[in-house]
Chains A and B, each alone.
Chain A
């Protein structure tokens, strides 16, 4: 499989501060990769390096088997969509779409054809003669996508394109971007801090922190088998429950206070005896029941429940004051102070070494 984009040992320094460190990333032809991470993790910076808007300190950027490390943004075969839309306010929608094409001295007939195609795909035909100021947020972002579309490039770069939109429009446009990707089959690199966008859109997600890719994998893999504590805590809402304890009996059980959880069926490597370890359990992988099953349940008492429409979240307190959350069907209401037992699905649990923070 040939890579559409290859980033090799990319390092970016701003003065003495190193923003990206020895970063490697390959994106396959037609793949949708999402760069996900909290503010300041370097994801937008990486995208800007990819686009050629920032000069990198070391390393190489290859797009379509061409070394474009020092190429101008316009020569890289990319189209870019920005968070603030970045439409030229004094030009009409048509002017915005054709600005780059006219600079490239494209024949008028070809320009006309491309604009018509973009207008058809994005349904912005009736807006072509309006100015951006007269458009709604959703329409503006459509035009911004159109501006990337008319360039007829292999690689689309999205820099938090939906962050300025309200929740309803955001989910609508999210689906549209996915539809666009299925239709065009372009390589897309998409930056977001919204994990729902990442999980729904991506073929693969790169979770970033501090200028380093923490894990690059398919959404389900990242969700079920997070590489380390950071990824585990960042992905999922509410976040994963973390129980601090130790692995005992040669790695066959997890000791948490007086409770012992049998680890038979764990999906991962050799657990071994670890003096300090963390058991990570997602809220939907726990089952609330009234009877205790030694080795398979954790005792807890209900603090509060939050019905959320489709389902309901129950917040509990386990041994040693550890807060936990469990997702239950919405019909199931829990009274405060009820003592219950949480059944653990070990096959979907994650164990982390407290020292290295890596998943075992």
Chain B
């Protein structure tokens, strides 16, 4: 009964388009072609890293090997040579971990609290601070390289991992503070007022009310910082000192070492290994990342 009465009503509005409508075909073709374009290098890297040198010399870079082996990966991780050191990427990996974790935590902690102060507790010089931060986030890094060498030397941490951590933390602050300030400013002001009427103070409002609402922006900050710091090369070369090079510098040294045979498979494996950390972060947090970027963009 219900069916017959329903069919008697003529549908209104545009008919849904068939799946293979011209517009859709075009879009998908474009997306697929673009994806292939970007995935081919990755594909070549993976299959090359699984070949041995004889197979690589055959020259068919697009054809996968029938006898895949992970020897090149093992070598890249623990045996590849840079000059006289044949320790592979492993020490660099751990250096990068020791640099990234504290830099990310400290810079986000300081920036989120500064952003919160700027957005919610207006003080006399808040406008000035805001302007300085804006300027600070646009000055090219290179300007500060030499002054920071002197500063870290005077602090007695030059040529150690702490110098790199310090530099990354400082350089992360302006842009992260702006990010957090804008996010907190976009949250309803009345929420903050309600918490004050409830008797919550500076820290309690921050930790109990605002932080739980700010997961997306913290995710964005973590991703920005982890990828930025992990991929950094310049600060690592300058401030870490030869025994503390991060993974990116180590990778560069392996790929550019000029002695002996060029081991393409090892270099490919080393490159993939280095890129693996940011890649994992992106995969794990993609959803929050998009949400956070959108949320942070709402208000200036």
Contacting B199 at CB < 8 Å: which of A51, A89, A104?
Answer: A104
B41 on the A face (CB < 8 A): no
B196 near A89 (CB under 8 angstroms)? no
Total number of A residues with any Cβ neighbor in B under 8 Å: 26
Q: Is B134 an interface residue (CB 8 A)?
A: no
Interface 1/0s, chain A 77-103, versus B by CB < 8 A?
A: 011101111111110000000011001
- B197 and A100 within 8 A (CB): yes
Which A residues from 52 to 83 make CB contacts under 8 A with B? 52-53, 72-75, 78-80, 82-83
Q: Which residues of B contact A79 (CB under 8 A)?
A: 197
- Inter-chain contacts of A75 with B (CB < 8 A): 199
| Chain B 188-223: CB-based contact to A (< 8 A → 1; otherwise 0) | 101101111111100010001100110000000000
A82 touches B213 (CB 8 A): no
Question: From B209, which residue of chain A is reached at the shortest CB distance?
Answer: A88
B193→A80 contact, CB < 8 A: yes
A83 touches B199 (CB 8 A): no
In the bound complex, residues from chain A placing their C-beta under 8 Å from that of B209 are: 88
Is A103 touching B199 in the complex (CB atoms < 8 A)?
yes
B187 to chain A: closest residue by CB = A89
Query: Taking the nearest CB of chain B, how far is it from the CB of A151, in angstroms?
Result: 8
Q: Which residue of A lies closest to B199 (CB)?
A: A74
A147 and B196 within 8 A (CB):
no
* Bound CA span A180–B209, Å: 29
Q: Is the CB of A72 within 8 A of B196?
A: yes
Across the interface, A89 reaches (CB within 8 A) one of B190, B195, B204, B213, namely B213
Partner of B197 from A80, A89, A90 at Cβ < 8 Å: A80
Q: Which of A72, A82, A103 contacts B193 (CB 8 A)?
A: A82
Taking CB as reference atom, which chain B residue is nearest A75? B199
- Please report the C-alpha to C-alpha distance between residue A91 and residue B188 in the assembled complex, in whole angstroms: 16
A53 touches B193 (CB 8 A): yes
Interface residues of A in 178-195 (CB under 8 A from B): none
A86-B188, A100-B199, A104-B199 known; A80-B194 Cβ under 8 A: yes
Q: Which residues of chain A come closer than 8 Å to B196, judged between CB atoms?
A: 52-53, 72-74
A90, B193: Cα distance in complex, Å: 16
The A-contacting residues of B in range 263-279, CB under 8 angstroms, are none
Q: Which of B188, B198, B208 contacts A74 (CB 8 A)?
A: B198
A83: which B residues are within 8 A, CB to CB? 190
Establish whether residues A99 and B200, one from each chain, have CB atoms under 8 Å apart when the complex forms.
yes
Which A residues are CB-close (under 8 A) to B190? 82-86, 159
| B194 partner residues in chain A, CB cutoff 8 A | 80, 82, 86-88, 147
Tell me whether B188 and A51 are in contact (CB under 8 A).
Answer: no
CB-CB < 8 A to B204: which residues of A?
103
Contact of B191 among A74, A80, A86, A103 (CB under 8 A): A86
Interface residues of A in 87-141 (CB under 8 A from B): 87-90, 99-100, 103-104
Contacts of A89 in B (CB 8 A): 213
Q: How far is the CB of A122 from chain B (nearest CB, A)?
A: 17
CB contacts (< 8 Å) of A99 on chain B: these are 195, 198, 200, 208
Task: List residues of B (149-207) whose CB comes within 8 Å of A's CBs.
Answer: 188, 190-191, 193-200, 204
Chain B residue at minimal CB-CB distance from A76: B197
B124 CB, min distance to chain A CBs, angstroms? 12
B197 & A88 in contact (Cβ 8 Å cutoff): no
Complex Cα gap A84–B189 (Å): 10
A86 to B205, CA, bound (A): 13
A100–B201 Cα distance when bound, in Å, is 11
Instruction: Identify the interface centre among B199, B208, B209: most chain A CB within 10 Å of its CB.
Output: B199
Alpha-carbon separation in the docked complex, A104 to B200 (Å): 9
Question: Are A100 and B198 touching (Cβ within 8 A)?
Answer: yes
Q: How far is the CA of A90 from the CA of B209 in the complex (A)?
A: 8
Question: CA A165 – CA B188 in complex, angstroms?
Answer: 17
Chain A residues, Cβ within 8 Å of B197: 51, 53, 73-74, 78-80, 100
Other-chain contact of B188, A53, A73, A84, A100 (Cβ < 8 Å) = A84
- Which residue in chain B gives the minimum CB-CB distance to A95? B208
Give Cα A51 to B204, complex, Å.
19
Closest to A99 in B: B198
Within 8 A of B (CB), among A24-73: 48, 51-53, 72-73
A-side contacts of B188, CB under 8 Å: 84, 86
A147 to B198, CA, bound (A): 9
Q: How many angstroms from the CA of A114 to the CA of B197 in the assembled complex?
A: 17
| Interchain nearest-CB distance for A13 vs B (Å) | 15
By beta carbon, the residue of chain B nearest A104 is B199
Chain B residues within an 8 Å CB radius of A52: 196
- Mark interface residues in A140-169 (1 if CB within 8 Å of B CB, else 0): 000000010000000000010000000000
B residues adjacent to A (C-beta < 8 A): 188, 190-191, 193-200, 204, 208-209, 212-213
Query: Given A51-B197, A72-B199, A103-B198, list of 7 further CB < 8 A pairs?
Result: A53-B197, A74-B200, A80-B193, A84-B191, A100-B199, A103-B204, A104-B199
30 example contacts (A-B, Cβ-Cβ < 8 A) are as follows A51-B193, A51-B197, A53-B196, A53-B197, A72-B199, A73-B196, A74-B197, A79-B197, A80-B194, A80-B197, A82-B190, A82-B193, A82-B194, A83-B190, A84-B188, A85-B190, A86-B190, A86-B191, A88-B191, A88-B195, A89-B213, A90-B212, A99-B198, A100-B197, A100-B198, A100-B200, A103-B199, A103-B200, A103-B204, A159-B190
* List of 6 A-B pairs having minimum Cβ-Cβ separation, nearest first: A74-B199, A100-B198, A86-B190, A86-B194, A82-B190, A90-B212
